[in-house]
Amino acid sequence: MNELLLEKPHEEDESGRELMKINMGPNHPSTHGVLRFIVHTDGEIMHKAVPEVGYLHRGLEKIAEGLPYASFMPYTDRINYMEAMFCNQVYAMAVEDLADIEVPPRAEYLRVITTELNRLANHHVTLGAMAMDVGALTPFVYLLRERESINDLMEALCGNRLTYNYMRIGGVSADVDEAWLKALETFLDHFEPIINELDRLISGNEILIKRFVEVAPICAADAVAYGLVGPNLRASGVDWDLRRDQPYSVYEDFDFEIPTGEHPRAIEGDCYRRWVVRVDEMRQSCRILRQAMAKLPEGDILGKVPRKIKPPAGETYVAVEGARGELGVYLVSDGSPKPYRLKWRSSSFAALSIFEHVTPGLMIADLVALIASLDTIAPEMDR
């Protein structure tokens, strides 16, 4: 039996004031997955909120040790179903680094196109859920409508709409044709003006502003100390993005900016600034997509890959800038056809570590806003 369930429902803080412990989750819609928070509260004011993970552990890292390198690719989609394309990519890159496999330029461009589309699809859900969690229900429906166009493009390319299994060690599984590229261009022509429309509809919404502005600010020093990455790190004023600062794939070929969420109504590291970063990132993803389409080279989509992949003994760490920031794979080979050890560095698990630090003094209702703005995904934490 869980020891936490045997604990007394009351305790005292440092001043002797009585606190109550209540559960939020693990089956709560605002925890964004099967995640439990133990909230220590004095009335509506939180003393702290302690996250408890483990409800979605599936042993994915251990499963990799019993499979050939190529056979593990479909499992990577399940690490984080919201950014499955990035999970495909970072695993493929780790194996390619160990086995010294070269990826053709066209395949690299297709990887950029598909991951940036996945970033857009992820932010559609994230922004919609953020607004819905604090009471603005309509935007979620609008954003899901736009996301369906991305899902259609992905389905036409690889047959799947959520868990793509599109990447391959050495390249990608399917090529694009002119019709698909035209459909992508049509989507961008439609969606770029929609970003401004949604920005006016949601970012200026008084419900969202009152629930997010000056709520749960995280300073730059704390963001770095607790290992925050991606939009959460940049919203705290740390200008860092792996696509620019540790370039991989073909991102050096593109011109784009790294948003940090500066806004006249937001303060450094608050929930509203984490919102603004993601809105601005969608604009930059569209910018990268247009450049990638214009520069897409001809050629093969899969490099020379041995029938049985057996990297020499060694280890590597590879990371990509996922929708939630740094997504990394530490891979160890013992020279056999199966990984000796596989370890994921997930952005959601790192973000979870700061809750106990930042929640003291917040209202219970603000915990919902904080969870939404840090954009944690339960399967990625537990794996």
Distance CA 318, CA 329 (A): 5
pLDDT of residue 5: 46
Task: State the pLDDT confidence band at 8, using cuts at 50, 70 and 90.
Answer: low
Percent of the chain whose pLDDT exceeds 70:
94
270-288 confidence digits (pLDDT tens): 889 999 999 999 999 999 9
Residue 237 region by backbone torsions, left for phi larger than 0, else alpha for psi between -120 and 50, else beta: left
Token output for 29 = 């819609």
Task: State the pLDDT confidence band at 13, using cuts at 50, 70 and 90.
Answer: low
By the 10 Å C-beta count (0-12 exposed, 13-18 middle, 19+ buried), 297 is classed as: exposed
- Strand runs labelled E in 219-333: 314-322, 325-333
| Mean pLDDT for the stretch of residues 75-93 | 91
176-205 confidence digits (pLDDT tens): 999 999 999 999 999 999 888 888 888 888
Residue 261 region by backbone torsions, left for phi larger than 0, else alpha for psi between -120 and 50, else beta: left
Q: Which residues of 159-197 are buried (b: 16+ CB within 10 A; e: fewer)?
A: eeeebbbbbbbbbbbeebeeeeeebbeebbeebeeebee
pLDDT of residue 32: 66
Averaged pLDDT of the chain: 87
Task: Say which DSSP state 103 is in.
Answer: P
Task: State the pLDDT confidence band at 376, using cuts at 50, 70 and 90.
Answer: confident
Ranges of each domain in the chain: 60-382
How close are the terminal C-alpha atoms of the chain, in Å?
A: 23
Token output for 35 = 């995640």
Question: Cis before residue 26, ω within 30 degrees of 0?
Answer: yes
Distance CA 142, CA 263 (A): 24
Please report which residue ranges of 236-377 form alpha helices under DSSP H: 242-245, 271-295, 347-352, 355-358, 364-374
Asked if 121 and 259 touch (Cβ cutoff 8 Å), the reply is no
By the 10 Å C-beta count (0-12 exposed, 13-18 middle, 19+ buried), 356 is classed as: middle
pLDDT of residue 182: 95
By the 10 Å C-beta count (0-12 exposed, 13-18 middle, 19+ buried), 200 is classed as: exposed
| Mean pLDDT for the stretch of residues 333-348 | 91
- Alpha-carbon 131 to chain mean position: 18
Task: Say which DSSP state 79 is in.
Answer: T
CATH number of 60-382: 1.10.645.10
pLDDT higher than threshold 70 for residue 28: no
| Mean pLDDT for the stretch of residues 161-187 | 92
User: How many Cβ atoms from other residues are within 10 Å of residue 357's Cβ?
Assistant: 12
304-333 confidence digits (pLDDT tens): 988 899 999 999 999 999 999 899 999 999
Distance CA 229, CA 224 (A): 8
Q: What is the pTM of this model?
A: 0.90
